Amino acid sequence: MDGNQAETIGQIVAGIGLGLLLLAQFFWAQAKEKFLEWRKRRVSIAKSVQRIEESTVNAHSTKLRDDVDDLANRLGIVERTVAANSEGLGRIEKTLDQLVAITQDTSDRLANEERNRYALGEQARLDYARFDRELQHLKSRVGRCPASSDDKD
């Protein structure tokens, strides 16, 4: 092998090496580009997932706030209803107290009237007994008196 052939072979080997180096650089650039695209896509996906999570959390927070507001409104209605019922029960209690007082007063008056009626009945019995005794006494006196022509029984 002479010097020209060795130089030619060296140039061929250098060319092949340079071609392989260019080919390796090309593949490296492609791989790097694919990696950067993958990383961008991954970051984009992560951001999308984060936005979805945030919107889901916001939606849930909004729903929870709405639910809490709804429950607070319902609780307010219940509180107002309980207050109205308490007020109504207070009026009913006062009315019942008045009815009890009226009933007691009526019962007392009826008892007094019954006692008065009994007392009047007792007095009438005593008066009748006294009248009957006086009548008997008068009859006995009339029986002792001589009969007159005007008194004809």
Q: pLDDT of 97-129, one tens digit each? A: 898 889 888 888 888 888 888 888 888 888 999
Helices (H), the chain: 3-144
* pLDDT at residue 149 in the model: 54
76-93: average pLDDT = 89
At residue 153 the predicted structure's pLDDT band, cuts being 50, 70 and 90, is very low
Whole-Å CA distances, 8 to 19, 22, 58, 114: 16, 20, 73, 152
pLDDT for 26 equals: 92
Sign of the torsion formed by the C-alpha atoms of 71, 77, 83 and 88: negative
* Euclidean distance between the first and the last CA atom of the chain, given in angstroms as a whole number: 199
Mean pLDDT value of segment 80-92: 89
In 75-100, which positions are buried (b, 16+ CB within 10 angstroms) versus exposed (e)?
Answer: eeeeeeeeeeeeeeeeeeeeeeeeee
* pTM for the predicted model, two decimal places: 0.40
In this prediction, residue 35 carries a pLDDT of: 92
State the average pLDDT over residues 35-40.
Answer: 91
